[in-house]
Structure 1
Amino acid sequence: MNVTLFRSWKRIVSAALVAGLSVTLVAAPAEAATTVAGYTTTINGDSADVYYPATGSNLPVALLLQGADVDKSYYSTFASTVASYGFVVAVPNHTRTLFGVTGLYPEGAQAGWTVSWAEAEDASSSSPLYHRIDEDTLVIAGHSFGAATALSLSTGLCVIPFCAIVNTAPSELEAVATYGGNNVLYGTSLVLPVLNTVPVGYVQGSADGVATPDEGKSTYNLTTGTPKAFITVAGTNHYGITDVQNPSGAAADASAQTLDQAVGVETIARWTAYWLLAQLGSSAAKKYVYTTGDAADANVTVEYVK
């Protein structure tokens, strides 16, 4: 159970423990769609922003689990970029009370709720995604606390505090990608194993002062299932994935980011999308992740086990 993922989680432990949709079209490499659309919906009562390619069908669903107290609106560029690679990306705001503290804290049950939502959207003639969703495929991207939640789900059994009650991951879950995530226990040097049953890709900022590279690498080394990858983005910190540095309401990262914010977000989103597509069987994505991408991207270094 990782508390070093974000500082607000440390505050929760010691205690016991923006709204509108903004779609940003990002120029993406070959393989990506050119146009992304979006709308706001609800998933099991949670307000959610949805991003999707304007064309195409049989689209897999990617659930983005937010960092603690990071509003969904701050992921608009990342989510729209991932969507441009052929995903329906759902970004819910999930509020709950954890050890007496109320805030935006994702939980594993959202995976099953998202599967049910996707089935309903695909069947609804009033939905812009009518008959366009691959209902049998779910992937998860997680940031910070959401990354820890995704790692818990990757084992097939989500546990407290990343689930309100212990529950199983949906059978539709095929792969996980994280940013700013690790499995360090309560800020100590003890790293818990990740007994994953689906592929896990760790995207790690080299300047992350909240979920440090050493903690991320230790978690990667103790991830038992394969395929797995450790993808380092040079110069990004804990909020290299969000539209702005240190989003309002979230615990700040004091470590300075040296890579341009827009470049960092695009890089993190591209590698997230390609990692997930590779695990879904895309030959082009596999070539990029395992052969050409590292050499072509001066900001990225990749270590992986197939």
Structure 2
Amino acid sequence: MNVTLFRSWKRIMSVAVVTALAGVLVAPATAQAATTAVASYPTTINGDSADVYYPVKGSRLPVALLLQGANVDKSNYSVYASTLASYGFVVAVPNHTRSLFGTSGLYPEGAQAGWTVSWADAEDDNAASPLYKRIDENTLVLAGHSFGAATALSLSTGLCVIPFCAIANTAPSELEAVVTYGGNNTLYGTSLVLPVLNTVPVGYVQGSADGIASPSEGRTTYNLTTGTPKAFIEVAGTNHYGVTDGQNPAGAIPDTSAQTLNQATGVETIARWSAQWLLAQLGDSAAKKYVYTTGDAADANVTVTYVK
């Protein structure tokens, strides 16, 4: 989650515990239909257990690193990650454990981007891997949820904002774009919102019913994002866990704000817009048309604000 996580931390720090962080409209067909079958396999990235989702066909596939929400296990992103992969990405979803304020948990950090680039280089050279000679080693994109979204923003600015990094991490040269869900740059749940001096394009996907990372905080962060292209993509009726396989994953701080869009439609919508945003920034002409021209009008569940 973004730094809004700390509102919830204030409620639970007294016991020294840091926990993690029915709609009927059917999403329209995409400008570039995601019909590619997807497979997956387990791996490790710098010692972290990870799940990798990839298209069974295709080569020179860009790598998308998914940075998890605080204490949201990687298994909760299987539908989102599979859908993102179906658009032509190798999606890596690690479980990164570290200690934060004296408590160990699943808390992503910016260093994972560089580790993932090294993993992709090795995997592309590994004759035993299903991705042997299929990875575009020069392209990395980030997708982040909640705490992972704030981690991605911290990395894209080149700044170290504790607790989203332990030391300042330079974004790898392979990083081309970022997309977030349920993320903003509000400092420790206060009214202070830090500018996002981003060095790569950033797309903010925001649930209108998010009770943890509010739409107003997300909009403020978007407005204070200095680099372009940027986009604010609001999904009607999804809450903070609209991106996960189910509501309120075990171990995560629950969102008490109810969803009005069903889970399956919400996850598909979030993953589709994530994929199209990332593809557009990588130069895909059909995705550009979808993001900047046709997608908003065709999707009754989405409203888009963007600056090219």
Same fold (TM over 0.5): yes
Amino acid at match of 2:265: V
Distance 1:296 1:5 in 2: 33
Distance in structure 1 (CA, Å) of the matches to 2:139 and 2:132: 16
Alignment match, 1:287: 289
Counterpart of 2:193 in structure 1 is 191
Equivalent position of 2:103 in the other structure:
101
> What SS is found at the alignment partner of 2:274?
helix
Report 1:126-205 matches (<5 A).
Answer: 126-205=128-207
Aligned to 2:37: 35
TM-fit CA distance, 1:280:
0.4
Q: Report percent identity of matched pairs.
A: 83
The gaps in structure 1 that reach 5 residues or longer are 18-26
Q: Which amino acid aligns with 1:189?
A: S
**Matches of residues 245-256 of structure 1 in structure 2 within 5 Å?**
245-256=247-258
Write the letter of the residue equivalent to 2:104. T
Q: CA offset at residue 87 of structure 1?
A: 0.1
Q: For residue 142 of structure 1, report the CA deviation from its aligned partner.
A: 0.1
What TM-score do the two structures reach when normalised by structure 1?
0.93
1:158 deviation in Å?
A: 3.9
Provide the aligned length of Structure 1 versus Structure 2: 297
Counterpart among 118, 121, 124 of residue 119 in structure 1: 121
Instruction: Find the counterpart in structure 2 of residue 23 from structure 1.
Output: none
Query: Which whole-Å CA distance do the structure 1 matches of 2:85 and 2:222 have between them?
Result: 26
Give me the whole-angstrom Cα distance separating, in 2, the residues matched to 1:6 and 1:69. Answer: 14
1:3 Cα deviation from its structure 2 partner: 2.4
State the alpha-carbon separation in 2 of the partners of residues 183 and 252 from structure 1.
20
- Provide the residue aligned with 1:3 in structure 2: 3
Query: Which structure ranks higher in relative contact order (CA pairs < 8 Å, sequence separation ≥ 6)?
Result: 2
* Distance in 1 separating the partners of 2:306 and 2:278: 14
User: Helix, strand or coil: the match of 2:58?
Assistant: coil
> Is residue 7–residue 189 contact of structure 2 (8 Å, CA) maintained in 1?
no
Moved more, 154-163 or 195-204: 154-163
Normalised by the size of structure 2, how large is the TM-score?
A: 0.93
* 2:112 paired residue number: 110
User: Against the structure 1 CA distance between its residues 85 and 250, is the aligned structure 2 distance closer, same or farther, given a 3 Å change threshold?
Assistant: same
Deviations 1:224-270 (A, max 9, x none): 00000000000000000000000011110000011000000000000
RMSD after superposition: 1.8
Match runs of 1:260-271 below 5 Å? 260-271=262-273
Distance in 2, Cα, partners of 1:260 & 1:186: 30
Q: Is the 8 A contact 1:158 1:168 kept in 2?
A: no
- List alignment gaps of at least 5 residues for structure 2: 19-27
Q: 2:3 is matched by which residue type in structure 1?
A: V
Contact 1:149 1:158 in 2 (8 A): no
